[in-house]
């Protein structure tokens, strides 16, 4: 009887956790393992090992939080010419700034992260 109640409490606890996570805008899904990042102009996409980055960094390192809640939108929805900051007023510029700056920092720490174009962008056949 005690085991059944303990199991029931665990199930209810996890259900409550997922409900609370949804209520506070916390993403429960871990997302895709790999993502192909591509601009609208269709140039070489960047292969992004999403899961590999998730194992090291929290989601908010890359994804913005709006009003304290992390919302995962397409970068290109906001990173447009409407942004005053010319360093990030396109998806391409925002991604290059975020990725290259972080990769340079990681390399300075003695780890290996690609910083050349060919490290992320593969040639189209």
pLDDT greater than 90 at residue 3: no
* Entry pTM: 0.65
Please list, in sequence order, all residues whose beta carbon lies within 8 angstroms of the beta carbon of residue 96, skipping any fewer than 6 positions away: none
Long-range pairs, 87-95, Cβ under 8 A, ≥24: 90/39, 91/39, 92/39, 95/37, 95/46
Regarding the domain delimited by 31-120, which CATH topology (the fold level of the hierarchy) does it fall under?
A: Cytochrome C3 (3.90.10)
Domain boundary assignment for the chain: 1-30, 31-120
Per the model's pLDDT, the better-predicted residue between 4 and 96 turns out to be 96
Q: What is the pLDDT of residues 23-79, one digit of tens each?
A: 555 545 678 899 998 887 777 899 999 999 999 888 888 888 777 787 777 888 889
């Amino acid at each position: 009887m005690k085991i059944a109640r303990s199991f029931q409490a665990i199930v209810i606890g996890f259900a409550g956790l997922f409900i609370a996570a949804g209520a506070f805008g916390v993403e429960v899904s871990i997302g895709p393992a790999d993502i192909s990042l591509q601009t609208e102009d269709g140039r070489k996409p960047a292969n992004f090992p999403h899961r590999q980055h998730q194992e090291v960094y929290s989601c908010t390192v890359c994804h913005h939080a709006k009003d304290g809640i992390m919302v995962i939108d397409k970068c290109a929805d906001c990173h447009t010419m409407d942004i005053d900051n010319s360093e990030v007023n396109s998806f391409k510029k925002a991604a290059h700034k975020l990725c290259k700056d972080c990769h340079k920092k990681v390399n300075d720490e003695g780890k290996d992260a690609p910083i050349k174009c060919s490290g992320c962008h593969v040639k189209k056949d």
